[in-house]
Structure 1
């Protein structure tokens, strides 16, 4: 068994319309699925990705209307990276953010790659990362209808940064339980803080990395809009997922058991610092119930929710995705 890389990250928004505008119109990602939170069907769950929403390209958002602002701290997924093809694409985005008055920083090196930190309208902490020097898991496929050219388009998820107070406990889960390898470390950009440690799985590269940041100067995070709910790692298929369930149970972790999300199948558990991990299968995929050319245009519901469509739609605020 070996995890193949990062599968998706699920974050929080208080405004689905604002979120949709930013991630599709500004960042040029494709809305590959407009559905609902399967644990609370009164709110949207939006999935963005490449042309098909391939595993490793998915950034998803739960809409929680009136959610309080996220308060940054430890025991958190503190940064989501988005891959672009090369350093020139990074320069393009820096210019774009300047024109559009989007909060951003200077281009700096992190972990041997050039990066550009920026924020979405709700303060979500994001990082563009150049794939120019990258080797390992390949990026996604450009969506032909994206407002961003193929040369500058987002290619998928890059490294995920976890910020914790006691890193060794999280490191033990990543390496001893999940099979990640420690690759290297790089200096923190925060003064007087330990180096950030890099772990990778599968083929490695930016699409298969987790970065661990140790911070003793921060309180615990209070999750809200602009925060991240969980990170998911790629599992080949159902057979391997069931083996992972056995392995995690044997290690003494409480877990969700097998969860059928229809578009993929999952297992959830919390590592010792309280961060929610998910293991998710590569399939069946987002074109299971919609044609590829029309992904995300209408409200999609898995079969077990379809009988409740009328009640579900009545509770949702209309969201124009065509």
Structure 2
């Protein structure tokens, strides 16, 4: 029995405007659009995937476009920050200047839990951070996109810590340790907010394997544009995911059961604390239906939606062409 989580897989948020979202994540952050597809549960809406240069597991931010979504009312029982990794402190300084240039709301660069960090928000208030891997040991990073308009030495290399606020912090800690196999590694005080933040690791540790948990007794968050829909954690392959499916069933924990997302296989579990956690396999990967050098350039559909392609293409608006070197 393996049943081991090997770090972050992806994080999925909500946007009201796919075109503006595309510009922010590719032209300001310099990530690669590796898959332009639709929400498999509602194919009239875009689902966009941004990642490193090759679409490696552990590097993707994804967004569901919901054009009529309202605003987010922030609160507890929610995913409150997704961090993105860069190689060095110099890359943090580069983005600090870049955010000034593009009027991105951001903090000063500050050391948080031993890493030089900038906290920032996208144009819809999505809460994000950039963290330096200068002192990192643990889950390997991805490879920046070499055709990005951000210089490759400063490029985003993957996902860093996921932060969650919960009211029932003790119960959520038990879920992470006894169900998902995490170990609590300690806590730290945020230098700006003074919050106490608990830290957890699963396997290799490091920036790409850390979960952060904050005790928050405010009203639960009401999600909207700029909120995070779910986080996804990595499992090695389909055989191991099937072990997770059986384990979750044995524990009588409500779940989606096995789901084939074409680019990876998944299992979704909503914890009692309201956090939606997906377990997702490393493969088959984004090159399953597009050549690696052309990822994200055309509308990509899983086989079961191909027969609806004409209808889908009438529902969605064309997106801007990604600027690239």
- Counterpart position of 1:214: 215
The 3-state SS of whatever aligns with 1:234 is strand
Matched with 2:285 is: 285
Structure 1 distance, partners of 2:286, 2:21, is 20
The equivalent of 1:306 in structure 2 is 306
RMSD over equivalenced CA pairs, Å = 1.1
- In the alignment, structure 2 segments of 5+ residues that lack a partner are none
Query: Does the residue aligned with 2:107 lie in a helix, a strand or coil?
Result: strand
Alignment-derived partner of residue 151 in structure 2: 149
**Moved runs in structure 1, 4+ residues, more than 3 A?**
188-193
Alignment match, 2:102? 100
Residue 53 of structure 2 corresponds to 51
In the aligned structure 2, how far is the partner of 1:106 from the partner of 1:215?
24
CA shift for structure 1 position 181? 1.1
Aligned match for 2:13, one of 11, 28, 32: 11
- CA drift at 1:91: 0.9
CA drift at 1:101 = 1.3
Alignment of 1:236-251 (within 5 A): 236-251=236-251
* CA shift for structure 1 position 66: 2.4
- CA shift for structure 1 position 32: 0.1
Deviations 1:91-149 (A, max 9, x none): 11111111221111111222221110011111111101110111001111121111111
Q: Does 1:73 pair with 2:75?
A: yes
Residue 191 of structure 1 and its aligned partner are, at CA, apart by 5.6
Shift of residue 318, structure 1, vs aligned partner: 1.3
Offset of residue 30 of structure 1: 0.2
The CA distance in 2 between the partners of 1:135 and 1:313, in whole Å, is 44
Moved more, 8-17 or 308-317: 308-317
Residues 1-322 of structure 1: pairs in structure 2 closer than 5 A: 1-189=3-191, 193=195, 195-216=196-217, 218-321=218-321
Please give the alpha-carbon distance, in whole angstroms, between the structure 2 residues aligned to 1:284 and 1:117: 33
Question: Hey, what's the Cα distance between the residues in 2 that align with 1:191 and 1:106?
Answer: 13
Q: CA deviation at 1:189?
A: 4.5
Rounded to whole Å, the distance in 2 between the matches of 1:145 and 1:154 is 13
| CA deviations over 1:58-98 (Å, ceiling 9, x no partner) | 00000000211111110100001000111111111111111
Residues 151-189 of structure 1, C-alpha deviations (whole Å, 9 max, x = no match): 111110000001011111111111111111111210135
Q: Secondary structure at the match of 2:85?
A: strand
Q: Is the 8 A contact 1:298 1:321 kept in 2?
A: no
Residues of 1 paired with 2:313 and 2:234: CA distance? 31
Three-state SS of the structure 1 residue aligned to 2:156 is coil
Query: Residue 190 of structure 1: CA displacement?
Result: 6.5
SS of corresponding position for 1:204: coil
Q: TM-score, normalised by structure 2?
A: 0.96
